[in-house]
Structure 1
């Protein structure tokens, strides 16, 4: 394995490189599956007897979601099934054979819905303007209708942690609302329950996992590059924050799980006319404001993205 000079030979280096990649891949896969399972448990996403309609676009996120749900189906203490659905929007050059071949190989039941939303979007949206809003509304309506036709009890979308944070900032900066993508919601008409099993997973891990798994990625060519998208601006802002202040996005996500309505300004969530119960304790900010000249000793607790330590094997409803 080693030469007389004590330097590893080429075959040895290749072996250790492959071994290292294998170890890192296993860690990555376990992390994604654990986080997906934890999100499913924390938000009661899947119940006994569910038929989960997995919306498969052909991107890294939806492939990773399908992979995770197939794994959870095997290890979960409940019985549920999945059906994959792809929407063929009739974009020029769309490789319509890739997903059917992939899903057939996995023995996953699927349906391809053919709807020419491409022409509608191109007709309605002026040149140079963002197509995402109209495109997503059209897709959502078609997918919801398909879920009802299939008898699916849950509609699974591949949005991840980064999507949730970007949507939070979009709504704050451009919509004047404090809201984002919830891990689980009921559609406006009450007929569909939407779940996001990758809510705890970050985009970096998903991209790395997709590349390692060699998923047959299908790019979205409908919108082109659209470099001035507001969402892209939010993504770049968060990335820059994390470069300058490591862990900031983790804290932002953690904040979404620890909301204090009495310390916001929404009168629909908190009755400010009713005297609050006095606990005898002030929060860190109040303490600092009360004594601004004294040194602050704010202790930052370790970041934990998920409450509890339960896994998919402990509870699912």
Structure 2
């Protein structure tokens, strides 16, 4: 059987994730990884990349797709479940009211995105416990890394951002973000070539979140100066790497 040729974006995604996974010893033999798959471009690319890494790794790991439908479209999780099954990946998909509750009048204390994300993460942690998973993988990328840094700086007055690898519950669960060094544009190009079944986000806050506004501010500040943008990205990557090493070692 002939090998399928990959383009630059696909190779970049697989190689970047592999390098970061190896550098931080993200996974170990027998790791059971729950992959948070929302159906967006980042999470579907993450699942595809982890399937490639699974074939390359010198030891066995297991993958399981975890999909929590936020409730805006009761059937939006079906294409995620079908895609995962077509790849031979076990899947847990369930319909929740996380998004609807977060956008309702009952939510008077928190932003819709904050509450929805909090409830989603709590449920994902529960699923990892129930299925005996050792890792939980998220599809956060470099755009998220930068946005989180400036959101924490402007709103919380602290220097902090996402970690590529972080232990929870006294080390019983490890949260990993293999795509964290990759920019969104690269992920989108790879997803198009893989023909991943990406669907439009039905959330009413999609494209208008604080994270989106912060990322757009960053791009506006950099203008067309690619060197300035890369310098900031690399500085935050180094800070995130140092924080991760402190957390894990």
Shared topology, TM-score over 0.5? yes
Would the aligned equivalents of 2:140 and 2:179 in 1 still touch at CA under 8 Å?
A: yes
Local SS of the residue matching 1:29:
helix
TM-score w.r.t. length of structure 2: 0.86
Q: In the TM superposition, what is the alpha-carbon distance from 1:28 to its structure 2 partner?
A: 1.4
1:193: how far off? 1.2
Aligned match of 1:155:
136
- For each residue in 1:141-177, what CA deviation from the matched residue of structure 2 results, as whole angstroms up to 9, or x when unmatched? 0000000111110000000111001100111111100
Q: Secondary structure at the match of 2:42?
A: helix
* 1:152-207 alpha-carbon deviations (Å, 9 max, x no partner): 10000000111001100111111100000000112367542100010111101011
What is the SS of the residue equivalent to 1:201? coil
Given the alignment of the two structures, is residue 125 of structure 1 paired with residue 107 of structure 2, yes or no? yes
User: 2:149 maps to which residue?
Assistant: 168
Unaligned stretches of 5+ in structure 2?
Answer: 240-249
Q: CA deviation at 1:241?
A: 3.6
SS where residue 244 of structure 1 aligns? Answer: coil
Q: Deviations over 1:234-255 (max 9, x none)?
A: 2112222443321223212322
Task: State TM-score, norm by structure 1.
Answer: 0.68
SS at match of 2:158: coil
SS of aligned partner of 1:85: strand
**For the residues of structure 1 that align with 2:203 and 2:224, how far apart are their CA atoms?**
34
Matches within 5 A, 1:1-317: 26-123=7-104, 124-125=106-107, 130-187=111-168, 191-225=172-206, 227=208, 229-258=209-238
Q: CA deviation at 1:220?
A: 2.6
- The structure richer in helix per residue is 2
Looking at structure 2, the residues matched to 163 and 257 of structure 1 have their Cα atoms a distance apart, in angstroms, of 11
Contact 2:181 / 2:237 at 8 angstroms: preserved in 1? Answer: no
**Structure 1: any 5+ residue segments left out of the alignment?**
1-21, 260-317
For 1:193, what is the secondary structure of its paired residue?
Answer: strand
Q: Taking structure 1 as reference, are residues 250 and 146 closer, same or farther at Cα in structure 2, changes over 3 Å only?
A: same
CA-based RMSD of the aligned residues comes to 2.3
Matched length: 235
Relative to structure 1, the CA distance from residue 247 to residue 195 in structure 2 (aligned partners, 3 Å threshold; closer, same or farther) is same
Map of 1:16 onto structure 2: none
**1:131/1:223 contact within 8 Å kept:** no
The runs of at least 4 consecutive aligned structure 1 residues that moved more than 6 Å come to: none
Deviations 1:108-155 (A, max 9, x none): 1111133222342233335xx841100000000000000011111000
